[in-house]
Amino acid sequence: MVRLSRDGRKRTTIVSRLVVPSGMTFGPDGNLSISNVGFGAPPVGLGQILKARLPDDGRDGDRDEEGDEGDD
């Protein structure tokens, strides 16, 4: 899973080696929860819920180069 900046120039790998990820949601703690091996052939019971902490370096791609929020 890769996070892209708005202009698509900056890519940050968040999670790698997922197998049949079937759902994602942000929790109240701000972390991303991912359903991995959500469906597929037997054996049954291999599913996982993974938690990914997103890097918070203040440059998440939602800001322009001057650091403004872009709410003009």
pLDDT single digits (tens) 31-68: 999 999 887 776 777 888 999 887 665 544 444 344 44
Q: What's the rounded mean pLDDT across residues 5-20?
A: 88
Q: What's the rounded mean pLDDT across residues 17-42?
A: 87
pLDDT at 46: 82
Beta bridge partners of 49: 35
pLDDT at 33: 93
pLDDT at 57: 54
For residue 21, what pLDDT band results from cuts at 50, 70 and 90?
confident
Cα separation of the two ends of the chain: 31
